[in-house]
Amino acid sequence: AHVTSWTTSKGEELFFLSRAAYFEAEKPIRGGIPVIFPQFGQGPLPQHGFARLRDWEVARTSVEEDGRVAATLQLDASPETLALWPHPFHLELGVCVGAQTLALTFRVCNPGNEAFPFQAVFHTYFAVEDVRQSAVYGLKGVSFIDSLRQNAREVESRDAIRFDGEIDRVYVGAPHSLRIEDAAAGRRFYIEKERMPDVTVWNPWVEKAQRLADFGDEEWPRMLCVETGVMDPAYTLAPGETWEGVTTFRVEER
């Protein structure tokens, strides 16, 4: 359940995928959209949880009346997940491709008898021509947790977030609409999200890229992660309940 590629009708790639990415069981894929559940970042579980490491099943596929193509994938608890995290769950990832849009729906169901907390994130790697000429709009006035400064909390004061070094921040309670401008490519990504309040902005820059085994040393200028989901605080799902979050991307070219 990992979108590794999204292209324009001309075939131009819109998602970053590292040339060093692993496509192996039990390893995450460096690029596209890793689906993060039930833990974001570090914690008792493996980094970013286990959903991105599991094999999901195709539940259904369809062609919508308006021509969009949709697929739903699912993942249920198994002895392996229960050994890591003692909760029954049912996950569904809906992927719906339109002419200029890609819509993702993440559904988390709690079929058990006890509530559980979770974090759920689309860890999207956008392809940009040059991150140093790119900007993210829509986060002014939003408070963020800066993991490069001992998780210090600050409020974003800029209209345009530009990049001149490593960045790793969780923006808490961000607006529903965001925009990425990739000036060098003449491209804009519009991000619309529902019930996914938080946004992480990440680029490893030079040194962290060198430390990541599945990331080419020279690849950092060509990617920008703008991740949408439930990060801080975690969401608590009552027995029998379902949570659903949606993120839609739209690309616009000059």
- Residues designated catalytic: 123, 227
Output the six-digit token pair for 175: 């607006």
Cα atoms in the Cβ-side hemisphere of radius 13 Å centred on 165: 2
User: Contact between 200 and ligand BG6 (CB under 6 A)?
Assistant: yes
Encode burial over 140-172: b for 16+ CB neighbours within 10 A, e otherwise: eebebbebeeeeeeeebeeeebebeebbbbbbb
Report in angstroms how near the CB of residue 177 gets to ligand BG6 at its nearest: 21
Q: How far apart are the first and last CA of the chain?
A: 31
CB atoms within 10 A of CB 53: 16
Q: Which one among 28, 138, 221, 245 touches ligand BG6, defined by CB under 6 A?
A: 28
Closer residue to ligand BG6 (CB): 41 or 88 = 41
Shortest distance (Å) from residue 200 CB to ligand BG6: 5
3-class DSSP state of 196: coil
Distances (CA, A) of 108 to 24, 51, 74, 137, 222: 25, 12, 10, 29, 32
Q: From 33, 213, 225, select the one nearest 128 (Cα to Cα).
A: 225
Using CB under 6 A as the binding rule, whether residue 48 contacts ligand BG6 is answered as: yes
CB of 139 to ligand BG6, least distance (A): 15
Smallest separation, CB 36 to ligand BG6 (Å): 8
Specify the residue, 45 or 71, whose C-beta has the smaller distance to ligand BG6: 45
Q: Hey, how many other C-beta atoms are within 10 angstroms of the C-beta on 207?
A: 11
Residue from 92, 156, 168, 182 binding ligand BG6 (CB under 6 A): 168
| Binder among 202, 220, 235, 249 for ligand BG6 (CB under 6 A) | 202
Lookup result for tokens 């993440």 = 106
Per CB under 6 A, contacts with ligand BG6 among 80-139 are 123
Quote the CA–CA distance of 38 and 121 in Å, as a whole number. 9
Q: Is 171 in the site for ligand BG6 (CB under 6 A)?
A: no
**Number of chain residues interacting with ligand BG6 (CB under 6 A):** 10
Determine if 198 is a binding residue for ligand BG6 (CB under 6 A): no
Nearer to ligand BG6, 96 or 231 (CB): 231
Least Å distance, CB 105 to ligand BG6, is 20
Bridge partners, 93 (sequence order): 73, 106
Question: Beta partners for 155?
Answer: 143
Determine the 3-state secondary structure of 83 from DSSP.
helix
Q: Confirm or reject binding of residue 54 to ligand BG6 (CB under 6 A).
A: no
CB of 22 to ligand BG6, least distance (A): 11
Site stretch for ligand BG6 (CB under 6 A), options 40-48, 66-74, 158-166, 244-252: 40-48
Binding site for ligand BG6 (CB under 6 A): 28, 41, 47-48, 123, 147, 168, 200, 202, 227
